[in-house]
Amino acid sequence: MFRKLLIANRGEIAVRIVRACAEMDIRSVAVYTEPDRFSLHVKRADEAHFIGEDPLAGYLDARRLVDLARETGCDAIHPGYGFLSENSEFARICETAGIAFVGPTSDVIARMGDKTEARAAMKAAGVPVTPGSAGNLADVEEALSVAEKIGYPVMLKATSGGGGRGIRRCDDAHQLGQAWGRVISEATKAFGSAAVFLERCVVDPLHIEVQILADNHDNVIHLFERDCSIQRRNQKLIEIAPSPQLTPEQRSYVGEMAVRAARAVGYRNAGTVEFLVKGNEIYFMEMNTRVQVEHTISEAITGVDIVREQIRIAWGHKLSFRQEDIRHHGYAIQFRINAEDPKNDFLPSFGRITRYYAPGGPGVRTDTAIYTGYTIPPYFDSMCLKLIVWGLTWEEVINRGSRALNDMRLQGIKTTAPYYQEILKHPDFRNAHFDTGFVAAHPELTQYSVKRLPEQTALAIAAAIAAHAGL
C-alpha cells in the first residue's frame, strides 16, 4: 500500500481523507494557504505544508502540488472534490511524475469533463440522454435554431461547467438570446472555456445520481442511488439515499445504466453518474469524476468505505466487493449546513464560531472541519458542516434528522440548519413527494421563527459546552 499521501484539498473532505489514511496506516500530508493556517485538516494530518498567502492560488497550482508531493516523499495524491479534482491536466502531471492520482485517468476526466463528448459517449453506449445540440454551439443563431427544433424550455450549459455554474434555463427565444452572453461570460471566467451546448429542460424532475466504483481489473459496481432533488439554484442542500421515490424497477435500471456508462468510457475509481427522472422518462445528465460531497449517505446505507476503496483502487487492488455483495439497508439523509442566512436570501454568514457542539446518538454522523473558536474565512464554499443521519425507515430517518438538527449548537454565525427543520416538517417532504422545484415552490419555509431557550438554560448549556471543549 502507499506509504504517504498528499491531500490536495482543505476543509472537511481533507479531514475525511486524513481519517481514511490513519486507518490504512498511510501517512497523510496536508497543504494550506494563509486563511487555513488554523484549520482542522492542518491539525489532524501527520504533516502540513504552507502553500502561499493567497487563499486560492496554492490549491489551484497543479505543478506546485505535485512537486511538493515528490519533495515530501508522497507516492499518491488525493484531490478530494472541487479545486483540481476534475482537472485532467492535474491528473496528467501526476501520471507523468509517477505519483498515483486517486481518481480516474486524465483521459477519462477530459472526456467526461466535456459535456458534449460525454453525451456522445453515452448515446453510443445506449444510455438515454436528453434531446439537445449534437455538439458545441457556434453562435446564438444556431442555439435558437436547435431550441426551435427540440422545444422550449431549454437549458443553456457550459460544456466544461459544473457545480451549478454556467447554466441558464430559457423559456423562450427572447430569454435564450439574453442568456447567451451571460453564460458565455460565466463559462469563460469559471472554466476557461466559452464552449456551450443546449438540451431540453426537463421541468421539475427528480435529480438522481448513482455512486459507482470501478477497479483496474474490469470490475464495476454501483452502490445504489442518491436523491438530490432538494436544491436551490442548482446547488444541492439535502441528499437522500436511497431515493424514497423510485420504484424497484427504476432503481435497478439507473444502477445498470450507471455501470454501463462507466464501462463505456473505461472508468476507474469512484465516480457518480447523474440522471434526471420525470415519471417513466430517465435521462443521463453528467458524470462526476471524483468523490462527491454526499458520498457519506451511500456509505451509511451500504457499509462501504468509499474513500478507502478509492485509495485501494489507486494502488491497484481489486474491489473489496462484488455487486451481489452490496445491499442497501434503511435510509440516510445528509444536510449541508451552510454558513448562510436563509431569512436574508441565503446571504453568506462568515465569521467566528463562538460555540459548536456536534449532535450524536444512534445513526448520527458529522463530517466537518470546524470547532469552537474557528473563524470561517470568506474565500471558500459556505458549507461548514455535513450532518448525516440514518434510520431503518423513512419516518425514522426524518425524525432522527429533526432531533439531530435540534441537538446541534452552532453559534456565532447564521446557518441553514433551522431552514432544514422547516423542510422536514413539510407534509410533501414527509410523504416523499418532492422534486427539484420544491425549494422554489415553498419560499414561505424561510420565514421560520427561531426558538430561544430561557436564559438560565442557555447559560448552563454554554457552560457545559465550554467545559467539554476544555477537556
CA 338 to chain centre: 13
Q: Which CATH architecture is the domain 4-102 placed in? A: 3-Layer(aba) Sandwich (3.40)
Nearest to 119 by CA among 271, 273, 284: 284
Superfamily of domain 206-446: ATP-grasp fold, B domain (3.30.470.20)
C-alpha cell at 104: 480516474
186-to-168, 196, 197, 288, 379 alpha-carbon distances in Å: 11, 11, 14, 20, 18
The 10 Å CB-count burial string (b at 16+, else e) for 314-343 is bbeeebebeeeebebebbbbbbbbbbbbbe
Whole-number pLDDT of residue 164: 72
pLDDT value, residue 191: 86
User: Given this model, what pLDDT does residue 471 score?
Assistant: 46
Please identify which residue in the block is written with the cell numbers 443553456. Answer: 156
Predicted local confidence at residue 391, as pLDDT = 98
pLDDT at 455: 45
Q: Sign of torsion, CA 95 97 102 106?
A: negative
Q: Is 290 marked active-site?
A: yes
CATH code of the domain occupying 131-200: 3.30.1490.20
Which grid cell sits at 222? 454501483
Q: Mean pLDDT in runs of 10 for the chain (471 residues)?
A: 98 98 98 97 98 98 98 98 96 98 97 92 95 93 96 94 83 96 90 92 97 98 98 96 98 98 97 97 95 98 98 98 97 98 96 96 97 96 97 98 97 97 98 98 92 53 56 46
Which is the catalytic residue, given 16, 168, 232, 290? 290
Closest CA to 383 of 418, 424, 354, 417: 417
**Cα separations (Å) of 131 from 137, 275, 327?**
14, 14, 34
Domain residue spans of the chain:
4-102, 131-200, 206-446
Letter string b/e over residues 106-130, b meaning 16 or more CB atoms within 10 A of that residue's CB = bebbbbbbbbbbbbebbeeeebebb
Q: Can you name the residues that pair with 279 across neighbouring β-strands? A: none
Q: Which three cell numbers stand for residue 52?
A: 502561499
For residue 442, give the nearest of 461, 468, 464, 420 by alpha carbon: 420
Radius of gyration (Cα) for the chain, nearest Å?
22
Q: Tell me if the bond preceding 131 is cis, omega within 30° of 0.
A: no
- List, in sequence order, every beta strand (DSSP E) within 242-394: 269-278, 281-288, 331-338, 340-341, 347-348, 351-352, 355-357, 364-368, 375-376, 383-391
The candidate with the shortest Cα–Cα distance to 353, out of 15, 8, 17, 40, is: 40
